[in-house]
Chains A and B, each alone.
Chain A
């Protein structure tokens, strides 16, 4: 169970202070929770605060009742927090196999590593010895990123827009990957997404708008409200002038 208590985050942008998150309090214990809302609403910041990449200006984070607010990224990883980046990182010389092995935290055989790749829909033989470098496409990197989360299989998995940068063809198989993930990972999954099909899988949908929770409830409760305010995109893109 994850508890966020009065999380605030203020950033300095171009010399002026900007409140990114304004007093967020949430208790999350559902299996699959989706966070959505307009760009710039603070979703990625919130996920980074949970993973320990960003320190909140104030507030408290509890994981299964334990205060992890002041733990480092590494310590949180050991406590069971996994975090899939929105833009996966490239490494010269580190292979897909190396990365999955590091994620699993133990010696893996090639066939075990391949198993994780197969689960994200990759032909493992073609990829396991490839370097995680610029020769891989955005979609391939995204899948490998998800495979590292599978290999960790911890009690809390965070995904920041797994669909971003994936083409339409890859997207439908990504949905399958997430359906599969729901079965494989026995902990809590928190996923930032704008995609209806992913939101439709969620047990709970939280909408963040301008740093505040503007809606929170089951998908049956929340999704219709997103759809009914002047077309499906109006609410999701209200900060951007509706360019979806």
Chain B
């Protein structure tokens, strides 16, 4: 791995080197390195690019890393990752994609991740997207996440995109069974002329299923963001979605929350707020000695933390 690839690995997976436990590092469209453990198996797909990750029932306190890095300009990488998580597991999965594009061609990563989470399992899924490079080629990422939670399962998904992605369309679909819970936390910052579209669809099919979809975003310069969150309450369930955006400069943000109750016992709430940084917040931090630009940076940093 060269210096750029190492930097990408650090940004997306917080890895300084080779991680402990199971991992699969994909670089420039091919397998770079892999490690499996007694409980976590990783198998290359035979019919299409990508891997199957099989986690044995009862696996507790294990984590795995599956970063993808692209440093070759003009590469279009498409990958299917399917996670099969057994019953009664408690695992952390850290995925992420980093692009470093120095050339003038579009680099693109489309990752399709499917999660099958077994009964009473607990999964924390962390996904970071990052791009850099001084070329004129665009950096494009279109992640798709498909989630299926069985009875009593709990999944927390944290998705972060802070810098450098010129265009992204992220689709997340989830089906939640009896007593299962899905928490989604999205953090997004766009600048320049970037475009980001987020689309969450959660089907609360099970009795006492629940979800909480929380998005915090900052749109700078002339970037554009579209946030769609649809929660379908098909049973006795609880759903909540919240979109909170700071808009700056010439940016544009659309928040389109939708809640659909198909059961009289569905309890669904959505909240959406878009606004600029409050003047009094800037004033307060300036009275502490920060410049206006530093104050703005602190407010955004806190908001996305």
Whether A91 and B286, one on each chain, are in contact in the complex, defined by CB atoms closer than 8 angstroms, is no
B17 touches A (CB below 8 Å): no
A147 to B216, CA, bound (A): 29
Q: How far is the CB of B8 from chain A (nearest CB, A)?
A: 27
A77 to B303, CA, bound (A): 24
From 43 to 73 in chain A, residues with beta carbon under 8 angstroms from any chain B beta carbon are 51, 53, 72-73
Whether B288 and A93, one on each chain, are in contact in the complex, defined by CB atoms closer than 8 angstroms, is no
Closest to A101 in B: B288
Which one of A81-89, A169-177, A187-195 contacts B?
A81-89
A148 touches B (CB below 8 Å): yes
Beta-carbon contacts of A175-200 to B below 8 Å, as 1s and 0s?
Answer: 00000000000000000000000000
A217 touches B (CB below 8 Å): no
A98 touches B (CB below 8 Å): yes
Query: Contacts A73-B286, A102-B298 known; A93 to B281 CB distance under 8 Å?
Result: no
Determine the chain A residues whose CB is within 8 A of the CB of B302 once the complex forms. Answer: 91-95, 98
Determine the chain A residues whose CB is within 8 A of the CB of B285 once the complex forms. Answer: 102
B292 touches A (CB below 8 Å): yes
Beta-carbon contacts of B262-305 to A below 8 Å, as 1s and 0s?
Answer: 00000000000000001011011111111110000011011111
Query: Contacts A85-B284, A89-B280, A91-B281 known; A74 to B303 CB distance under 8 Å?
Result: no
Determine the chain A residues whose CB is within 8 A of the CB of B299 once the complex forms. Answer: 91, 94
Beta-carbon contacts of A201-242 to B below 8 Å, as 1s and 0s?
Answer: 000000000000000000000000000000000000000000
B171 touches A (CB below 8 Å): no
A78 touches B (CB below 8 Å): yes
A152 touches B (CB below 8 Å): yes
Closest to A98 in B: B302
Whether B287 and A82, one on each chain, are in contact in the complex, defined by CB atoms closer than 8 angstroms, is yes
Closest to A154 in B: B289
A24 touches B (CB below 8 Å): no
A93 to B288, CA, bound (A): 18
A102 to B289, CA, bound (A): 8
- Number of A interface residues at 8 Å Cβ cutoff, please give it: 25
Whether A94 and B287, one on each chain, are in contact in the complex, defined by CB atoms closer than 8 angstroms, is no
Q: How far is the CB of A187 from chain B (nearest CB, A)?
A: 15
Partner of B298, one of A89, A94, A152: A94
Determine the chain B residues whose CB is within 8 A of the CB of A77 once the complex forms. Answer: 286-289
Query: Contacts A89-B280, A91-B281 known; A105 to B303 CB distance under 8 Å?
Result: no
Determine the chain B residues whose CB is within 8 A of the CB of A83 once the complex forms. Answer: 287
From 88 to 138 in chain A, residues with beta carbon under 8 angstroms from any chain B beta carbon are 88-89, 91-95, 98-99, 102-103, 105
A51 to B287, CA, bound (A): 8
Q: How far is the CB of B289 from chain A (nearest CB, A)?
A: 4
Q: How far is the CB of A212 from chain B (nearest CB, A)?
A: 27
B62 touches A (CB below 8 Å): no
Partner of B287, one of A73, A93, A98: A73
A91 to B281, CA, bound (A): 7
A204 to B286, CA, bound (A): 29
A148 to B288, CA, bound (A): 8
B244 touches A (CB below 8 Å): yes
Whether A89 and B291, one on each chain, are in contact in the complex, defined by CB atoms closer than 8 angstroms, is no
A103 to B289, CA, bound (A): 8
Whether A53 and B283, one on each chain, are in contact in the complex, defined by CB atoms closer than 8 angstroms, is yes
A92 to B285, CA, bound (A): 14
Q: How far is the CB of B280 from chain A (nearest CB, A)?
A: 5
Partner of B288, one of A53, A92, A152: A152
A105 to B286, CA, bound (A): 12
A102 to B295, CA, bound (A): 10
Closest to A100 in B: B288
Determine the chain B residues whose CB is within 8 A of the CB of A78 once the complex forms. Answer: 289
Query: Contacts A89-B278, A89-B281, A91-B281 known; A103 to B303 CB distance under 8 Å?
Result: no
Beta-carbon contacts of B1-29 to A below 8 Å, as 1s and 0s?
Answer: 00000000000000000000000000000
Determine the chain B residues whose CB is within 8 A of the CB of A92 once the complex forms. Answer: 216, 244, 302-303
Whether B303 and A89, one on each chain, are in contact in the complex, defined by CB atoms closer than 8 angstroms, is no
From 16 to 48 in chain A, residues with beta carbon under 8 angstroms from any chain B beta carbon are none
Whether A73 and B283, one on each chain, are in contact in the complex, defined by CB atoms closer than 8 angstroms, is yes
A91 to B303, CA, bound (A): 8
Beta-carbon contacts of A138-157 to B below 8 Å, as 1s and 0s?
Answer: 00000000001000100000
Give me 6 other A-B pairs in contact (C-beta within 8 A), A81-B287, A102-B288, A148-B288 excluded: A74-B286, A82-B287, A92-B244, A93-B304, A105-B289, A152-B289
A sample of 16 cross-chain residue pairs with beta-carbon separation below 8 angstroms, ordered by A number, consists of A53-B287, A73-B286, A74-B289, A74-B290, A83-B287, A85-B280, A85-B284, A89-B278, A89-B281, A92-B302, A94-B299, A94-B302, A95-B302, A98-B298, A98-B302, A152-B289
Q: Which 8 A-B pairs have the closest CB atoms?
A: A93-B302, A94-B302, A77-B289, A73-B286, A89-B284, A83-B287, A93-B303, A103-B288
